[in-house]
Structure 1
């Protein structure tokens, strides 16, 4: 009876399938970023066109809006901090381009920052905000053209905060749209300061939205799957809900949440609007007409400012790496945009341990090795049980082969004799498989951790491995992995069925081929895991081989 071997093969193939499904090289192929300050007039105009949604009015006079857009294109505002290089369009006060100077486009191009938000001719990805309602700035007549005291702002040495004010006079009401940038942070505070010197109450609602096309600039091969690119939201029923472009194209999605957030998620990076946590906010996600354009946004509560008084309406916009700790601080469940899948409850503690070890050793490669050692120690007893069972099965392999030859095609007799031998030798056929299956969720969760951790992006190990998030350039680690897998198979019991034996013999070559394109950090984990497993299994196998067989 070889059902236990079939179970083991099925488990291996299931793991292989999961790896194929999640396998991706993730080489960002964004167009080469131009300098933020040199954005063309035509792209600026495109970014300032008022968006169409059920909450936000559309300009009625197209010629007037075009003239305003042309004027705004000559007055683009550039902001430079240690975290951002961005452009603000004074028409509406939208962020039309945003680059991250601390994150390179590629490892060998440190002079080219990774561009997250972009609004050039071949791509649209904007962060828009405004005021709607009775006294809103965004009306059927169009979007407001703000005035700024200067066109260039920079966070200087020793300065921890940079404030960029855009001004608008609305009759006797002075409106200031204020962007506040903090050193070392990717969270932008957006405030509307209302100075109502009129004789009437002033009333409006704040909205914020992300406007994006569905273009995916990640290069993938035929065997790879794209990382998730799409919207995410927290709802009363789901802490973290993905909403794809296809979902938005099919139906407009609306929900109301106390506080909450709306995000655009991609590999390693995220942008998100986070409105007032103390009020109920209305969220909407939908496709714009027949164009490849999508809106993801919120509308806040109605705010009133009495005559002769001042008021503030606020929201925050995050644009940067998926930093779990920072996202946790900003809003509940926003950290789930670091997508560990359904095993997040296992993956989050693993990442905490990985980060803790990194703080001690200062190298993410060494941290991976340390985490692998911790996982092996955690499952030491369970692995020992599995290896003892496999060692006993390996020791009984000659007897099984002899029985198979003796009973030929009499499968029933062969099964009876084999079960009798198991009982005599005190071997549990489940003993080798079940411990491995129990450990599988941890291994898969660790896989998600290594694939989703932006900390590994452009992080070196030693020698030739300069980036743990991409493949080993010389394929040394995948080859070592294949060798370790080969030796592990030699320590395992060999299938009695010739077809099963051939499949098992092919697995090291198959996995080695697949791992050629795996990120080096993930292959390093498997090489370390296999090496530790071989050492443990070798010692146990020697001990079992030295034990006398039952008579």
Structure 2
């Protein structure tokens, strides 16, 4: 049974090695290729123009889609200057709305910086047409196929009721088609990241007009992603309470995807940021995930199309939608979900399969952060709470492992004596377990039960924006970044910058040492080859986790220390003296 346990551990560790190779060797190569591709695309990128079907282009109402031709992209400031603008100013967002096309295409997150340095630029979430990688939201109307209705286009210039949009002062944009139809868009914004867009059409033509409301988010270029299997980045949406996710590569390879649902939402997510469209809840919508390739330029679009709305002669029609463009703060998404009835809006944060654990863990972390004043201390506190919850199971596991460690010399003697007779060896081992009242599997089961919990905690720390740029103590100024020190220049004492793969900081070294100590407390494999492999594992994990976020390494180290203390106490109580021999 001990051999079986060792075999299971070996398989699990082998999988971790393969994942580590993929993550730290293959992924950098892939990102380098993607960066070169993005550089080539940026040289050819045009101002991204989403093509809204006109009456002559479609025989039936359709979803806005596709992108216009590409030309060389210009700088962001130059792109902003291509259109008159309405300024956007809130405590969380600075930016503007382009009056040409009435697009929300300039969103800067005031409270988040690109780098830890407070002098680094703020996060630019949405960027205007004409820039290297345009990223914007657009709302409008589509007419029925064959209907000769002049609709606003990306080239239409709207008039504005005010120069600045604030949480206390909405702005109304107006455009007249010169044929009796007046289009209005009243844009409001709260103090965080939620825009409200109310579209209104006034018909003075003397004839009824049928129109279909739409909204879209268009993103030019394929963004750099973490590309880690536990995190989704790319298009996503919730339709009929079910989360749907697509990687950028999925759309490139498999083509467009259409969904229909009552209510729901659709968007594009990064690790920490989100742009999402939320049409009227309780109404049916057609959603689309789209990809186009124009002049070797990737372009992604998510959109929705509503049902026909008949605007009677002398009458009007209106529809309201929401746009979220900001940081994926859990409490904020939860509040929007409750206030506006947005189904599963919090799933924009990739809590994963263990959602029922990861989200509670997050709320405990934020509570501890408020109590202790430091996110790193909150991680340590949450680890202690989890240890206490699993104390009975862990005790059972450690007692079993301590007893197995005590029996290791006897098992080794049996292996040497009956090594050529597997049947006799197994019989003698089972007899020994029976005499000593030991169940070899008893140490495995509690650990297996705890695996989902620790994976959920790992996931919580990995996806939480609250850990981004959060300091700990000493040299750890950003818990979401790797430990900046290196063993190979004696943690800064030697004036030499090691290559990236040698950036193994103090915390990863501590983690490796604690893993080694914990391993010495466990029963050692009786097979000499397995024993040597297991002795090498702490070194391997030190290099493997050396490039993980410092917060995760601190958690792992602290968890090891707590486990060592608990197991050492149990072994001392059981009279096992040479625990580390």
TM-score by length of 1: 0.85
1:261-280 aligned within 5 A? 261-280=265-284
Provide the C-alpha distance between the structure 2 equivalents of 1:136 and 1:351, rounded to a whole number of angstroms.
54
Pairing of 1:61-72 with structure 2 (within 5 A): none
Greater length-normalized contact order (CA 8 Å, ≥ 6 residues apart): 1
CA positional deviation for 1:268: 1.0
Distance 1:7 1:198 in 2: 75
Contact persistence 2:185–2:199 (CA under 8 A): yes
Asked if the contact 1:146/1:167 (under 8 Å) is kept, the reply is yes
CA distance in 2, matches of 1:233, 1:15: 31
Q: Quote how far apart the aligned CAs of 1:20 are.
A: 6.6
Contact 2:48–2:67 (CA under 8 A) maintained in structure 1: no
* Contact 2:239–2:263 (CA under 8 A) maintained in structure 1: no
Is 2:537 the partner of 1:507? yes
Pair 1:128–1:74, CA change in 2 (3 A): closer
Which of 156, 159, 171 is the equivalent residue of 1:144?
A: 156
Q: Tell me the secondary structure at the aligned position of residue 316 of structure 1.
A: strand
Distance in structure 2 (CA, Å) of the matches to 1:317 and 1:82: 17
Q: What's the counterpart of residue 89 of structure 1?
A: 98
For residues 154 and 323 of structure 2, the distance between their equivalents in structure 1, rounded to whole angstroms, comes to 23
Query: How many Å apart are 1:111 and its aligned residue?
Result: 4.7
Among candidates 495, 516, 519, match of residue 546 of structure 2: 516
Kept in 2: contact 1:136–1:203 (CA 8 A): no
SS at match of 1:46: coil
Question: Who is 1:241 aligned against?
Answer: 244
Other structure's SS at 1:176 match? strand
Distance in structure 2 (CA, Å) of the matches to 1:339 and 1:59: 29
Q: Which residue of 2 aligns with 1:124?
A: 134
Write the distance in 2 (CA, Å) between the matches of 1:180 and 1:197. Answer: 26
Deviation at residue 22 of structure 1 after TM alignment: 7.2
Taking a change above 3 Å as real, the CA distance of residues 376 and 57 of structure 1, as seen in their structure-2 partners, is closer
Match of 1:189 in 2: 196
User: Which one of the candidate residues 345, 360, 371 is aligned to 1:349?
Assistant: 360
Residues 76 and 6 of structure 1, relative CA distance in 2, 3 Å threshold:
same
CA displacement at 1:342 relative to structure 2: 1.7
CA positional deviation for 1:437: 1.2
The answer as to whether partners of 2:101 and 2:154 remain within 8 angstroms in 1 is no
Q: CA deviation at 1:139?
A: 4.3
User: Is contact 1:394–1:493 with CA below 8 Å preserved after alignment?
Assistant: yes
Q: CA deviation at 1:305?
A: 4.1
CA separation of 1:229/1:142 partners in 2, compared to 1, >3 Å: closer, same or farther? closer
Query: What residue is the counterpart of 1:65 in the other structure?
Result: none
Does residue 6 of structure 2 align to residue 2 of structure 1?
A: no
Encode CA deviations 1:410-448: one digit per residue, 9 max, x unaligned.
222222111111111111111122211111111111111
Where does structure 2 lack aligned partners over 5 or more consecutive residues?
A: 36-43, 71-77, 486-504
Q: How much does 1:486 deviate?
A: 1.0
Cα displacement (A) at 1:216: 2.3
C-alpha distance in 1 between matches for 2:356 and 2:155:
45
Aligned to 2:523: 493
Verify: 1:215 aligned to 2:227, yes or no.
Answer: no
- Say whether residues 1:313 and 2:325 are aligned partners: no
Describe how 1:31-50 pairs up with structure 2 within 5 A: 46-48=47-49, 50=51
Q: 1:176 aligns with which of 168, 180, 184?
A: 184
Q: Does 1:368 align with 2:375?
A: no
**2-side partners of 1:424 and 1:473: how far apart?**
53
How far the C-alpha of 1:194 sits from its partner, in A, is 3.3
Q: Where in structure 2 are the equivalents of 1:106-121 lying within 5 Å?
A: 106-119=115-128, 121=131
Identify which range, 6-15 or 251-260, moves more after superposition: 6-15
- Once the two structures are superposed, what CA deviation does each residue of 1:372-422 show, in whole Å capped at 9, x if it has no partner? 111111111111111011100110111111112222322222221111111
Contact map agreement 2:165 2:189 (CA 8 A) in 1: no
Q: Alpha-carbon deviation of 1:75? A: 1.7
Among 346, 354, 357, the residue aligned to 1:335: 346
| 1:382 matched to 2:393 | yes
Q: In 1, Cα distance between the equivalents of 2:278 and 2:50?
A: 23
> d(CA) in 2 for partners of 1:408 and 1:114?
64
**Cα pair distance change 1:138/1:211, threshold 3 Å:** farther
* 1:326 and 2:332 correspond: yes
Q: How far apart, in 2, do the equivalents of 1:343 and 1:57 lie? A: 36
**Given the alignment of the two structures, is residue 476 of structure 1 paired with residue 506 of structure 2, yes or no?**
yes
Q: List per-residue Cα deviations over 1:444-472 (Å, max 9, x = no partner).
A: 11111111101111111122211111111
Deviation string for 1:233-259 (max 9, x for gaps)?
2233x6111122333232321121111
> CA 1:162–1:217 in 2, change beyond 3 Å: closer, same or farther?
farther
Q: 1:91 to 1:401 in 2, by over 3 A?
A: same
The runs of 5 or more residues in structure 1 that have no matched partner are: 32-41, 63-68
Q: Is the 8 A contact 1:175 1:194 kept in 2?
A: yes
Distance 1:266 1:209, change over 3 A: same
Structure 2: distance between partners of 1:79 and 1:494: 64
Given the alignment of the two structures, is residue 100 of structure 1 paired with residue 109 of structure 2, yes or no? Answer: yes
Q: Secondary structure at the match of 1:257?
A: strand
Change over 3 Å in CA distance of 1:11–1:424 after alignment to 2: farther
Instruction: Give CA-to-partner distance per residue, 1:18-56, whole Å, 9 cap, x none.
Output: 67777899xx9999xxxxxxxxxx99x824563569423
- The answer to whether the Cα contact below 8 Å between 1:264 and 1:272 also exists between their aligned partners in 2 is yes
* TM score, norm. by length of structure 2: 0.81
For residue 359 of structure 1, report the CA deviation from its aligned partner.
2.5
